[in-house]
């Protein structure tokens, strides 16, 4: 009996906590779907509207921003997957001088991430004339220490006998990589891709510094420009734009909730 | 079985990817160190070697002192609270209560949102008069607080935002750790007559220790790295009360266009990270002795 009571108490506590935790987000959602006049006063049966979304969509080139984010994510993801795979493969399968030192050198990026070095990276970028380009935003992130670390850990679990068998069959370095290591690491690639996509979708500071024109702005920077210009004017529009720019991630999360959580966990444990 | 790496493959496997990484990690760090000994170039004169002049400015910079204090307070405040909440959330989600998926969604949602979206949401939440925060205060008959606009509350208000955004992510790691706690250990403790509280503190919590270290390291790096909300919500103000180190670097470099001092501050930041990494390494090593 006490056990049942305990359970009810904990359930109530948990749900109340979850509700309080969700409050800022729900308030923003509520405002986005209602007319501006309701943003100061909550009326439970106020008429719903999607007018804010339509207006926000037209007030700034969000379609372009989405396209830019999509291009940015694609570049970074492909480069990460290819480059990190090659480096991890070299570390696991070959021995060479200074390999321990080189690995330590790479891992420095986990601590000193590109955000810390915005000042000098901006100067580098302007020296090679890549300011205000999407490739310029992507450049510091093309090789990822986290990706190399994750794939190296995974490749190390590939049975040596498989590798040797393939070699006896006459497979070269590339065939071994492509037919043995890559397929066995598939779940890790998926996990890494999810983490990487959400990181670069959300990234803000570096793209803000690198871009000055709408043609190359990713969604996060576009949103901040929109929200600053309009700030204080129409909260319902700002909230609608905020939701709009995050909607793809939220929808993806709700659809892939289980995989997402599992993959985040995997990324963390390693 | 490991073979020597042939030269051709080494070029493809290592040199190209690592060159990119070094060009945007090690090179800028060293370059910052170099530039910190030079002053800014202007249209009339090129930049010239000034020795430790920038570092003297650094030592006399009152704003920097405030920013460092803010950053320390921010890190020491947000990390333990976020970790505590994350453990609570993980326990709730792991308890197989009804409504678990709803709780998980609510806790994890802020983590999915970009920091800039989170900042907008909270900017609205804190907005004087309109925001839910001041409306809730109004219901209780309390006077409205200008959360972001006053020097006493701006930093704490930003810390709430950071905790809200991060706790859900940490919850996921604790959830993984909780699910890895062997059932037979708990069963054995129950047989011995230990209550739920005892089991938690004597069995579960010690087993969560590696997760806590991992999470704390990540949280610390994030506390340094993530200043999007400062840019959107307060621009470090009022009167620097909510400015964090990386935001200060951003402001000095890209608003005041003082690249030389920006480089000097970058050196300081990298050095601080290095010291913190060394401390963490020491803590991790100590942990190894306990096991």
- pTM of this structure: 0.88
Within-domain flag for B13: no
B290 confidence band (pLDDT: 50, 70, 90): very low
CA distance B71 to chain A (A): 14
CB contact under 8 A, B17 and A83: yes
CA distance A135 to chain B (A): 13
Please give the residue range of the domain that contains residue B175: 28-33+59-290
Closest by Cα among A23, A13, A142, A130 to A72: A142
| ipTM of model | 0.86
The dihedral over CA atoms of B97, B99, B102, B104, expressed in degrees to the nearest 10, equals 10
Closest by Cα among B273, B158, B280, B95 to A15: B95
Q: Chain A neighbours among B 165-184 (CB < 8 Å)?
A: 169, 172-173, 175-176
Average pLDDT on A88-109 reads 89
CB contact under 8 A, A22 and B109: yes
Within-domain flag for B47: no
Of B175, B265, B270, the CB nearest to A112: B270
Query: Would you state the pLDDT for residue B81?
Result: 94
CB contact under 8 A, A18 and B224: no
Give me A210's structure tokens. Answer: 């690198």
* Domains within chain A, CATH numbers bracketed: 2-49 (no CATH), 54-269 (1.10.3720.10)
Query: Would you state the pLDDT for residue A267?
Result: 54
pLDDT digits (tens, 9 = 90+) for B4-33: 778 888 878 888 899 999 999 999 999 999
CATH number at residue B265: 1.10.3720.10
Average pLDDT on A177-181 reads 90
Within-domain flag for B1: no
Within-domain flag for B5: no
Cβ-Cβ contacts under 8 Å, B132 against chain A: 23-24, 27
H or E segment to which residue B3 belongs: strand B3-4
Cβ-Cβ contacts under 8 Å, A40 against chain B: 129-130
Closest by Cα among A171, A85, A135 to B12: A85
Within-domain flag for B184: yes
Within-domain flag for B157: yes
pLDDT digits (tens, 9 = 90+) for B123-169: 888 887 777 887 788 788 787 778 887 888 889 999 999 999 999 88
Task: Give the integer Cα–Cα distance in Å for B179 and B91.
Answer: 10
pLDDT of residue A270 exceeding 70: no
pLDDT of residue A64 exceeding 50: yes
B248 CB within 8 Å of a chain A CB: no
CB contact under 8 A, B108 and A245: no
Within-domain flag for B115: yes
CA distance A231 to chain B (A): 10
Cβ-Cβ contacts under 8 Å, A18 against chain B: 99, 102-103, 106-107
Cβ proximity of B225 and B246 under 8 Å? yes
Those residues with Cβ within 8 angstroms of residue B280's Cβ, 6 or more apart along the chain or in another chain: B213, B217, B220
Q: How many C-beta atoms surround the C-beta of residue B236 within 10 A?
A: 24
Query: Would you state the pLDDT for residue A266?
Result: 60
Q: Count of domains in chain B?
A: 1
Within-domain flag for B17: no
Average pLDDT on B236-263 reads 90
Cβ-Cβ contacts under 8 Å, A140 against chain B: 24-25
Determine the residue of chain B that is closest to A257 in CA distance: B105
Give me A24's structure tokens. Answer: 């800022």
B24 CB within 8 Å of a chain A CB: yes
């Amino acid at each position: 009996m006490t056990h049942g009571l305990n359970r009810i108490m904990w359930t109530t506590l948990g749900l109340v906590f979850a509700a309080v935790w969700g409050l800022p987000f729900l308030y923003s959602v509520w405002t986005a779907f209602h007319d501006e006049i309701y943003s100061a006063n909550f009326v439970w049966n106020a008429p719903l509207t999607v007018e804010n979304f339509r207006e926000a969509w037209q007030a700034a080139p969000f379609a372009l921003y989405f396209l830019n984010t999509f291009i940015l994510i694609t570049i970074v993801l492909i480069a990460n997957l290819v480059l990190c795979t090659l480096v991890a493969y070299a570390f696991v399968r070959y021995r060479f001088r200074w390999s321990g030192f080189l690995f330590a050198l790479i891992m420095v990026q986990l601590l000193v991430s590109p955000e810390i070095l915005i000042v000098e990276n901006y100067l580098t970028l302007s020296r090679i004339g890549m300011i205000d380009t999407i490739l310029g935003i992507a450049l510091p992130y093309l090789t990822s220490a986290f990706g190399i670390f994750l794939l190296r850990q995974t490749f190390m679990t590939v049975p040596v006998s498989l590798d040797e068998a393939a070699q006896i069959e006459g497979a070269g370095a590339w065939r071994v990589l492509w037919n043995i290591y890559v397929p066995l690491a598939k779940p890790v690639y998926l996990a890494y891709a999810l983490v990487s996509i959400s990181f670069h979708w959300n990234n803000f500071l570096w793209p803000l510094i690198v871009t000055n024109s709408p043609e190359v702005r990713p969604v996060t920077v576009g949103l901040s420009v929109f929200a600053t210009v309009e700030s204080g004017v129409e909260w319902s529009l700002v909230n609608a734009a905020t939701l709009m720019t995050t909607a793809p991630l939220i929808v993806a999360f709700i659809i892939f909730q289980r995989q997402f959580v599992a993959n985040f966990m995997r990324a963390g444990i390693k | 079985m490991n073979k020597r790496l042939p030269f051709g493959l080494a070029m493809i496997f290592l040199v190209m990817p690592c060159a990119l990484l070094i060009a945007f990690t090690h090179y800028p760090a060293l370059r910052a160190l170099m530039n910190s000994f030079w002053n800014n170039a202007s249209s009339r004169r090129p930049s010239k070697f000034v020795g430790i002049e920038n570092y003297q400015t650094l030592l006399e910079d009152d704003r920097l002192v405030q920013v460092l204090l803010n950053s320390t307070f921010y890190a020491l405040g947000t990390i333990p609270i976020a970790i505590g909440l994350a453990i609570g959330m993980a326990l709730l989600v792991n308890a197989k209560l009804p409504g678990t998926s709803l709780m998980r969604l609510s806790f994890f949602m802020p983590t999915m949102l970009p920091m800039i979206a989170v900042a907008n949401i909270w900017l609205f939440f804190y907005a004087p008069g309109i925001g839910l925060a001041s409306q809730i205060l109004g219901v209780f008959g309390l006077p409205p607080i200008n959360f972001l606009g006053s020097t006493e509350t701006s930093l704490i208000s930003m810390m709430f935002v950071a905790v809200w955004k991060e706790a859900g992510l940490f919850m996921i790691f604790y959830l993984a750790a909780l699910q890895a706690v062997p059932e037979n250990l708990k069963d054995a403790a129950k047989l011995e007559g230990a209550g739920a509280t005892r089991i938690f503190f004597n069995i579960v919590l010690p087993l969560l220790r590696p997760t806590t270290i991992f999470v704390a390291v990540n949280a610390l790096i994030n506390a340094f790295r993530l200043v999007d909300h400062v840019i959107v919500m307060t621009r470090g103000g009022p009167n620097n009360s909510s400015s964090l180190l990386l935001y200060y670097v951003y402001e000095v470099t890209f608003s005041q266009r003082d690249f030389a001092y920006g480089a000097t501050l970058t050196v300081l930041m990298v050095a601080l990270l290095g010291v913190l990494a060394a401390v963490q390494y020491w803590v991790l090593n100590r942990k190894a002795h306990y096991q």
